[in-house]
Amino acid sequence: MNKTELEELFYIKKDYSKIKELLMNSNKSWSFNILGKINLEETNYDIAFNFFYKAKNIPGCGYCKFLEGEIEKAKDILSSINDSSSFVNWILFLINLYNDVKDIYPTYFQIRNFYEQDLEMLFKARQYEIIKKILNKNYYLERFNKEIYKYSARVLKNNNFEKEAEELLKKSLNICYKDPETHYILGEIYLIQNKKDMAIKSFKKSEEVNNGYYPAYNRLKDLCN
């Protein structure tokens, strides 16, 4: 099985056991990287670190320490390499945000591409202190991406913090009222809270601000028939 087929197993099928079996005796750098990613997903951070180290993936090593809450170790690792990639700069920004240092600034696309997945990873790692600090700085992140409250709310909803997600979505609507997705996510939260009438109202508003928004249309079809 080649690298492309293994990546399909990892990203699409998520068959981690099969990948581990196939790569048991591999000494290739890319195989260490995949095994590192698997152990990262499984929250085996020490094992992931070792695989990334074997693959000479220093950003991956730094990310492991970040998810373990070893903030200064993560910063030292990431600052020690000559890597100006978007991912490395983004993690260094999050570390500085946690430390109340503002000498690195995120881009709109970094927030759009990385924020939710890293917040989800922090929830998996149970790094609630870091999560709280980041959420408390959403007002600052709003300068760079106006959708930040929606991104945060979606992750909070996925982790059963519906009340907090609802509050952030209402903030988001004050900024981007015509965003159909924000109304839609709010409707989903109302459904979880057994507030069917309010959910229907939110789904209708989602369709109203963007006529033909399929997720809302589909929900209303199920709820109103």
Q: Which domain holds residue 163?
A: 153-225
In a domain, 134, yes or no: no
CB 108 within 8 A of CB 144: yes
The pLDDT of residue 193 is 95
Q: Structure tokens of 181? A: 């997705």
Q: Rounded distance, CA 36 to CA 30, Å? A: 10
Q: 24, 39, 56: which is the final residue of a domain?
A: 56
Query: pLDDT, tens digit, for every residue of 71-96?
Result: 999 999 999 998 789 999 999 999 99
Name which of 206, 197, 202 is nearest 224 in CA terms: 197
* Lowest-confidence segment of 36-45, 66-75, 206-215 by average pLDDT: 206-215
Highest-pLDDT range among 8-17, 38-47, 80-89, 216-225: 38-47
| pLDDT range class, residue 140, cuts 50, 70, 90 | very high
In a domain, 82, yes or no: no
In a domain, 61, yes or no: no
In a domain, 102, yes or no: no
| pLDDT over 80 (residue 222) | yes
Mean pLDDT of 8-21: 88
Q: Rounded distance, CA 174 to CA 204, Å? A: 18
- Which CATH number do you get for residue 188? 1.25.40.10
pTM of the shown model: 0.92
In a domain, 62, yes or no: no
The H or E element that residue 151 is part of is helix 148-158
Query: pLDDT, tens digit, for every residue of 93-114?
Result: 999 999 999 888 999 999 999 9
In a domain, 111, yes or no: no
Q: Rounded distance, CA 91 to CA 59, Å? A: 9
> Residue for token digits 């910063």?
75
In a domain, 76, yes or no: no
Report the domain count for the chain.
Answer: 2
How many alpha carbons fall within 13 Å on the CB side of residue 64? 24
In a domain, 211, yes or no: yes
The pLDDT of residue 39 is 96
| pLDDT range class, residue 154, cuts 50, 70, 90 | very high
Instruction: Give the rounded distance of the alpha carbon of 19 from its chain centre.
Output: 24
For residue 50, with 0-12 CB atoms within 10 Å meaning exposed, 13-18 middle and 19 or more buried, which class applies? middle
Q: If you ran DSSP here, which 8-state letter would residue 28 be given? A: -
CA gyration radius, the chain: 20
Query: pLDDT, tens digit, for every residue of 29-41?
Result: 999 999 999 999 9
The pLDDT of residue 225 is 72
| pLDDT over 90 (residue 121) | yes
Q: Rounded distance, CA 219 to CA 225, Å? A: 10
The H or E element that residue 89 is part of is helix 86-98
Q: 56, 71, 97: which is the final residue of a domain?
A: 56
